Amino acid sequence: MSDKEFNYYISGETGKWEVVIGLEVHAQVSSNAKLFSSSSTKFGSEPNSQVSLIDAAMPGMLPVINKFCVEQAVRTGLGLKAKINLLSVFDRKNYFYADLPQGYQISQFKHPIVGEGEVILDMPYGTKKIGIERLHLEQDAGKSLHDQDPTKTFIDLNRSGVALMEIVSKPDLRSPEEVAEYIKKLRSIMRYLGTCDGNMEEGSLRADVNVSVRKIGSKEFGTRCEIKNVNSIKFMQQAIQYEAKRQVELLEDGKKIDQETRLFDTKNNETRQMRSKEDAHDYRYFPDPDLPPLKFEQTFVDQIKKKLPELPDDKKERLIKDYKLSNYEAGVLISDKDTSDYFEDVAKNSDVKLAINWVIGDLFAALNKIGKSIKESPISSKNLSKLIQLIKNNTISGRIAKEVFELMINDNRDPKVIVEEKGLVQESNVDELEKIIEKVLKDNSEKVAEYKSGKDKLFGFFVGSVIKESKGKANPALVNDILKKKLS
Amino acid sequence: MTDLAKLTLVESIKHIKEKKCSASELVGAYIKRIEKSDKLNCFNTKDLENAHSKAKKIDTNQKLDKTLVGAPIAVKDLFCTKGVKTTASSKILSNFIPTYESTVTEKLWNEDAILIGKLNSDEFAMGSSNETSNFGNVLNPYRLNNQNLVPGGSSGGCASAVAADLTSATIGTDTGGSIRQPAAFTGIVGLKPTYGRCSRWGIVAFASSLDQAGPMTKDVKDAALMLDVISGYDEKDSTSAKKPKSSFLNSIKSNVKGLKVGIPKEYRVDNMPKEVDDLWKEGIKILKDNGAIIKDISLPHTKYALPTYYIIAPAEASSNLARYDGVKYGFRAEGKDLTEMYENTRSKGFGTEVKRRIMIGTYVLSSGYYDAYYLKAQKVRNLIKIDFDNAYKNVDVILTPTTPTPAFKFGENVDDPIAMYLNDIFTVTANLAGLPAISLPIKYNKDGLPLALQLFGKSFDEQTLLNTAYFIEQQVNFKSQVKDWWMS
């Protein structure tokens, strides 16, 4: 499996540098209600239409924990093979900002709900285990809208109070590729669990990226910089590349790295200082006196564990075993739960080899072209499996199937109906085929002579001409057989 | 004819139920006094017209079976009342009209009590003399040689209003003695229930782990009745306790035989006036003469209670008051940018004492100081709780004076915050330990000022507290000597 070697280093004038990366991922908990209020969490609603008295921090309002969000955090923790803490504490993180109505964010500081866990990455150079430091629950803030008025800032509190899971990795990542794989894997696990939709465009998943560099072989970590709130995998990778290079240049110039918070400027593709360590906020964390410590029994955890769905790593193993898929094929399928579900649906009722080729080949390409996810696929798994059946039972040829597939993309019609309607059923009647073949040979008598004098390569020409003559319907295998006999 | 406003709450309701008077007549009697009592400055907001019309409506009811039917009740201006201005006696909320009703006031109105107004207090309940209110001093109905005295605080408006018969009963809030100390200064009964007995939902928060609403009444039975109505579990307050529905009034028993009463030696502070020491001895004698068992006890960490309180309460307050930032509601002072708007709003919107406590609280939570102050204070708080737990192994209630002195003059302690904070020396321990405590008027000193004793009870054992207080009340036969001097 390790056909490649890990090879991401920054080459400087003084030698090679290793990049050390840790991520703090903010994942929005899939829940209809917010972490401490019953307001809706629906994306894209009218500004300030999903704001309860609690979310707006009206005087005398008190938070009440949403039990479902606790379950979701536990579920995610189990998916990360992590330690679940039966006692955790909500703290207040105090700072002033216009879109933070309470003047503090309720988070978990010293005692998170989930402790150490791990995520396994499948890299070209083998599997790699990334440690999870912790997962904690916290509230999201509202949104400041600076572009609505030339002089005013507007505030939308729809997001205020929405539950987030902050998932902190250990500094185990070593390249932008590993970061991309890590995010994809984490997202995949949460999607399997149904605990976070992982939708980065809607802000359901974003990350603070901690980057430092050190000389190869060094055991000490370098001083790190934190790049705040990066919201796409591509930006994370670009930010890391830029930041690592910046740090190496500074160090090679004999300068020091200042521990600081930076932001990634997506327009200029560079990181910039946001605030230095001296300007760092003093958040004055303390346990929220409105919320008793969060306590639950092991039985609560066990019950959630019992109902956990199959997770990517297990699924991959099973796909390889049950369907005899290659590691690569299984890896592609499980990266997204919808894809592997779709594949299994198709394969169950048709043919495994054809199913894998059609799903990761034609279907992926088609979806990519129209910009849709597999969940939004215009072709249902049921219809794709019917199409494969038609190939398998020789009703249509692979070539015709591709034509039918193109039609199905437009209207998701039953391929059988399309085939019948368009008269695309494969011609397998030997008599009929012989008629066509005789016509082709007659029309190309010169080429027949050439073939018989030794130009073997012309065989393909005859096959092609017959298929063409039959308007694609001729069964290629039969055409082959008959042609061979006729030309011998 | 009976002066209706002189009746206790229990008597008033009996009058209405027995149709000896109508709700309109009762409300009218109070309104008449309120209209002549502006000099006392008890009210931040009067709601007399609404009170009148609600009384009329009640008079048309066939059934007069609700627990507080027709009782005119003004409440501390810290309870959010739907559609009625709620200011916390602060400029920063001077224009704030809630769209919601606090749980405890909702319970009053559900029992057909009638809101007649919102009562003055120290700003955000921070003070011991009502002098920090944005709306001016409240006068104590009792005077010293015709000189005005403070009513105590923070529930000063509540205390004076009950003593001056401007409300049939009221509810205040007690964070460090804010119900009991003003009750003591004005010769009324004040009960701070066990933390969690009453919901905090809809009460402007001062220090969440200490705040508790409770009755301030003309006598002990009234306090029992009020507690019956306002107590109870509230799913909207995560710190409220799941306890069965109480019937304190019906269960009240006048008997102290065999009751074990603790006398804590640490409450015998230096420089305690002789009259207060004598008062304490009198209280002990009454109980002893009637079959109670008096035990000397020790609460060794008492001397740390005040500094502990003045770390924890400001810490929580500094965070709780962050929401008053001029962004969403309340007072705003404009500025050239967000930071300046915050600074202007909060420096103009808050008074001196509130700002002092926000600064203390911010300081003790700051990184580098947290462990030395806040964390240490939490540890001491725990030791204080353990002191009481140990004491309650041997006694049922604990008897102390409520305050080290009777009511004092305006300005006496204003320039010396520490001297002012000493007023809470006997009361803060109940808040730190979460225990119930009641202040009960006993007698007048040689200057005609009320003096009061305090009883601490076991957690959620308000019944024993009420029983004991009821017994003492009958023995001492304290009668109001308020002379209506302020009425023109």
Q: Is residue B205 within 8 angstroms of chain A, CB to CB?
A: yes
Helix (H/G/I), strand (E/B), else coil: A212 = strand
The burial class, CB within 10 Å (0-12 / 13-18 / 19+), for B109 is middle
For residues B29 and A61, what is the distance between their CA atoms, to the nearest angstrom?
35
Reply yes or no on whether the pLDDT at A129 is more than 70. Answer: yes
Distance from CA of A224 to the nearest CA of B (A): 21
Q: Which of residues 458-487 of B touch A (CB under 8 A)?
A: none
Q: Is there a single domain that holds both residue A158 and residue A251?
A: yes
Q: Which of A278, A305, A332 lies at the terminal end of a domain, its last residue?
A: A305
Helix (H/G/I), strand (E/B), else coil: A76 = helix
* Record: contact A103-B367, CB cut-off 8 A: no
* Record: contact B239-A103, CB cut-off 8 A: no
pLDDT on residue B375: 96
Does the residue A9 lie in any domain? no
Q: Is there a single domain that holds both residue A265 and residue A292?
A: yes
* Record: contact B201-A94, CB cut-off 8 A: no
* B19 backbone φψ class: left, alpha, beta (φ>0; ψ -120 to 50): left
* Record: contact B323-A103, CB cut-off 8 A: yes
Q: Is B443 among the catalytic positions? A: no
Query: Buried (b) or exposed (e) across A88-124, using 16+ Cβ within 10 A?
Result: bbbbbbbeebbbbbbbbbbbbbebbbbbebebebbbe
Helix (H/G/I), strand (E/B), else coil: A4 = coil
Query: Of the candidates A124, A166, A143, which has an alpha carbon nearest to the alpha carbon of residue A46?
Result: A143
Max Cα distance, chain B (Å): 71
**Helices of type H across B373-461:** 376-391, 417-421, 428-433
Q: What is the CATH number of the domain that holds A454?
A: 1.10.10.410
Nearest residue in A to B206, CA atom: A60
* Structural contact between residues B231 and B244, judged by C-beta atoms closer than 8 angstroms: no
For residues B384 and B244, what is the distance between their CA atoms, to the nearest angstrom?
28
- From the CB of residue A276, how many other CB atoms can be counted at a distance below 10 Å? 11
Least trusted range by pLDDT, from A173-177, A278-282, A361-365, B129-133: A278-282
pLDDT on residue B17: 96
Q: Which of A368, A397, A421 lies at the terminal end of a domain, its last residue?
A: A421
For residues B158 and B181, what is the distance between their CA atoms, to the nearest angstrom?
12
* Record: contact A64-B239, CB cut-off 8 A: no
Q: Is residue B338 within 8 angstroms of chain A, CB to CB?
A: yes
Q: How confident is the model at residue B270 (pLDDT cuts 50, 70, 90)?
A: confident
Q: Which residues of chain A make contact with B207, given a CB cutoff of 8 A? A: 289
Helix (H/G/I), strand (E/B), else coil: A35 = coil
Q: At what angle do helices B103-110 and B220-230 cross, to 10 degrees?
A: 110
For residues A339 and A333, what is the distance between their CA atoms, to the nearest angstrom?
6
Does the residue A242 lie in any domain? yes
Q: What are the residues facing A114 on neighbouring strands?
A: A84, A135
Q: Is there a single domain that holds both residue A30 and residue A110?
A: yes
Selected residue of B86, B94, B320 to mutate for chain A interface (largest A Cβ count, 10 A): B320
Q: Is B348 among the catalytic positions? A: no
Q: Which of residues 236-295 of B touch A (CB under 8 A)?
A: 236-239
Q: What is the mean pLDDT of the segment spanning A315-337?
A: 91
For residues A2 and A15, what is the distance between their CA atoms, to the nearest angstrom?
25
Helix (H/G/I), strand (E/B), else coil: B260 = strand
pLDDT on residue B103: 98
* Record: contact A284-B366, CB cut-off 8 A: yes
Q: Is there a single domain that holds both residue A355 and residue A392?
A: yes
For residues A435 and A419, what is the distance between their CA atoms, to the nearest angstrom?
23
Domain spanning B1-488, CATH class: alpha beta
Determine which one of B133, B178, B318, B459 is catalytic. B178
Domain spans in chain B, listed from the N-terminal domain onward = 1-488
Nearest to A291 among B201, B202, B238 (CB): B238
* Record: contact A101-B328, CB cut-off 8 A: yes
Total H helices, total E strands in chain A: 16, 16
Q: Which residues of chain A make contact with B373, given a CB cutoff of 8 A? A: none
For residues A223 and A276, what is the distance between their CA atoms, to the nearest angstrom?
13
Determine which one of B76, B107, B218, B458 is catalytic. B76
* Structural contact between residues B478 and B443, judged by C-beta atoms closer than 8 angstroms: yes
Reply yes or no on whether the pLDDT at A277 is more than 80. Answer: no
Secondary structure (DSSP) of A319-358: HHHHH---HHHHHHHHTSHHHHHHHHHHHHTS-HHHHHHI
What are A's interface residues with B at a Cβ cutoff of 8 A? 53, 56-65, 92, 94, 96, 98, 101-104, 153, 155, 282, 284-286, 289-292
Q: Is there a single domain that holds both residue A81 and residue A221?
A: yes
Contacts of A156 (CB under 8 A, 6+ apart): A47, A48, A99, A142, A143, A145
Distance from CA of A97 to the nearest CA of B (A): 8
Distance from CA of A129 to the nearest CA of B (A): 35
What residue ranges in A3-58 does DSSP mark as E strands?
A: 10-12, 15-28
pLDDT on residue A276: 81
* Structural contact between residues B164 and B151, judged by C-beta atoms closer than 8 angstroms: no
Contacts of B190 (CB under 8 A, 6+ apart): B155, B159, B172, B174, B179, B180, B182, B183, B184, B214, B215, B216, B217, B223, B438, B439
Structure token pair of residue A378: 């215009």
Q: What is the mean pLDDT of the segment spanning A155-180?
A: 97
Q: How confident is the model at residue A1 (pLDDT cuts 50, 70, 90)?
A: very low
Reply yes or no on whether the pLDDT at B466 is more than 50. Answer: yes
Nearest to A289 among B208, B365, B367 (CB): B208
Query: Of the candidates A407, A10, A346, which has an alpha carbon nearest to the alpha carbon of residue A176?
Result: A10
Q: Is there a single domain that holds both residue A244 and residue A203?
A: yes
Cis amide leading into B154 (omega within 30): yes
Q: Is there a single domain that holds both residue A155 and residue A265?
A: yes
* Record: contact A153-B338, CB cut-off 8 A: yes
Q: Is there a single domain that holds both residue A163 and residue A81?
A: yes
Nearest to A103 among B200, B203, B322 (CB): B322
Q: Which residues of chain B make contact with A94, given a CB cutoff of 8 A? A: 318-319, 322, 365
Determine which one of B154, B199, B439, B459 is catalytic. B154
pLDDT on residue A73: 98
* Record: contact A62-B238, CB cut-off 8 A: yes
Helix (H/G/I), strand (E/B), else coil: A164 = strand
**If you search the block for the tokens 């109105």, which residue do you land on?**
B109
Q: Which of A280, A305, A330 lies at the terminal end of a domain, its last residue?
A: A305
Q: Is residue B362 within 8 angstroms of chain A, CB to CB?
A: yes
* Record: contact B319-A92, CB cut-off 8 A: yes
Structure token pair of residue A292: 């008793």
Q: Which residues of chain B make contact with A139, given a CB cutoff of 8 A? A: none
Does the residue A136 lie in any domain? yes
User: How many pairs of residues across A and B have Cβ atoms under 8 Å apart?
Assistant: 95
Nearest residue in B to A57, CA atom: B323
pLDDT in tens, A38-82: 999 999 899 999 999 999 999 999 999 999 999 999 999 999 999
* Record: contact A59-B323, CB cut-off 8 A: yes
Query: Of the candidates B155, B136, B168, B184, which has an alpha carbon nearest to the alpha carbon of residue B69?
Result: B168
pLDDT on residue B19: 95
Q: Is there a single domain that holds both residue A120 and residue A214?
A: yes
**If you search the block for the tokens 């203390």, which residue do you land on?**
B360
Q: Which residues of chain A make contact with B99, given a CB cutoff of 8 A? A: 53
Reply yes or no on whether the pLDDT at A2 is more than 70. Answer: no
* Record: contact A60-B200, CB cut-off 8 A: yes
Q: What are the residues facing A164 on neighbouring strands?
A: A28, A138
pLDDT in tens, B343-381: 999 999 999 999 999 999 999 999 999 999 999 999 999
How does strand A260-265 pair with strand A15-28?
unpaired
Could you give the dihedral angle defined by the CA atoms of residues B90, B92, B97 and B98, in that order, rounded to the nearest 10 degrees?
A: -90
Complex confidence, ipTM? 0.96
For residues A289 and A286, what is the distance between their CA atoms, to the nearest angstrom?
9
Selected residue of B204, B311, B325 to mutate for chain A interface (largest A Cβ count, 10 A): B325
pLDDT on residue A270: 92
Helix (H/G/I), strand (E/B), else coil: B363 = helix
Q: Which residues of chain A make contact with B237, given a CB cutoff of 8 A? A: 62, 64
Q: Is there a single domain that holds both residue A317 and residue A439?
A: no
Reply yes or no on whether the pLDDT at B31 is more than 60. Answer: yes
- Residue range(s) defining the domain that contains residue A482: 430-487
Q: How confident is the model at residue A3 (pLDDT cuts 50, 70, 90)?
A: low
Q: What is the mean pLDDT of the segment spanning B405-432?
A: 88
Query: Of the candidates B217, B268, B106, which has an alpha carbon nearest to the alpha carbon of residue B466?
Result: B217
Helix (H/G/I), strand (E/B), else coil: B409 = strand
Could you give the dihedral angle defined by the CA atoms of residues B375, B380, B386 and B388, in that order, rounded to the nearest 10 degrees?
A: -130
Could you give the dihedral angle defined by the CA atoms of residues B292, B295, B296 and B297, in that order, rounded to the nearest 10 degrees?
A: -120
Q: What are the residues facing A127 on neighbouring strands?
A: A122
For residues B34 and B203, what is the distance between their CA atoms, to the nearest angstrom?
25
Contacts of B143 (CB under 8 A, 6+ apart): B149, B485
Q: Is there a single domain that holds both residue A351 and residue A456?
A: no
* Structural contact between residues B44 and B116, judged by C-beta atoms closer than 8 angstroms: no
How does strand B212-217 pair with strand B170-174?
antiparallel
**If you search the block for the tokens 């079976």, which residue do you land on?**
B65
Structure token pair of residue B12: 């008033």
Selected residue of A62, A65, A91 to mutate for chain B interface (largest B Cβ count, 10 A): A62
Q: What share of chain B is helix, strand, coil (3-state, %, to 5)?
A: 40, 15, 45
Q: Is B37 among the catalytic positions? A: no
Q: Counting every residue, how long is chain A?
A: 488
Residue A8 has phi, psi (to 5 degrees) of: -115, 100
Q: Is there a single domain that holds both residue A289 and residue A159?
A: yes
Q: Which residues of chain A make contact with B93, given a CB cutoff of 8 A? A: 59
pLDDT on residue B157: 98
pLDDT in tens, A414-454: 998 888 887 777 777 888 888 888 888 888 888 888 888 88
Selected residue of A107, A290, A291, A294 to mutate for chain B interface (largest B Cβ count, 10 A): A290
Q: What are the residues facing A87 on neighbouring strands?
A: A295
**In percent, how much of chain B has pLDDT > 70?**
100
* Structural contact between residues B75 and B106, judged by C-beta atoms closer than 8 angstroms: no
pLDDT on residue A312: 94
* Record: contact B374-A286, CB cut-off 8 A: yes
Does the residue A7 lie in any domain? no
Does the residue A1 lie in any domain? no
Least trusted range by pLDDT, from A383-387, B106-110, B451-455: A383-387
Nearest to A64 among B99, B209, B238 (CB): B238
Does the residue A4 lie in any domain? no
Does the residue A10 lie in any domain? no
For residues B276 and B451, what is the distance between their CA atoms, to the nearest angstrom?
7
Q: What is the mean pLDDT of the segment spanning A206-221?
A: 95
Q: Please give the model's pTM, rounded to 2 decimal places.
A: 0.90
Q: How confident is the model at residue A471 (pLDDT cuts 50, 70, 90)?
A: confident
Nearest to A102 among B96, B209, B322 (CB): B322
* Record: contact A57-B208, CB cut-off 8 A: no
**Helices of type H across A274-414:** 298-306, 312-323, 327-334, 337-348, 352-357, 364-370, 381-392, 398-411
The structural domain count of chain A equals 3
Residue B276 has phi, psi (to 5 degrees) of: -75, -40
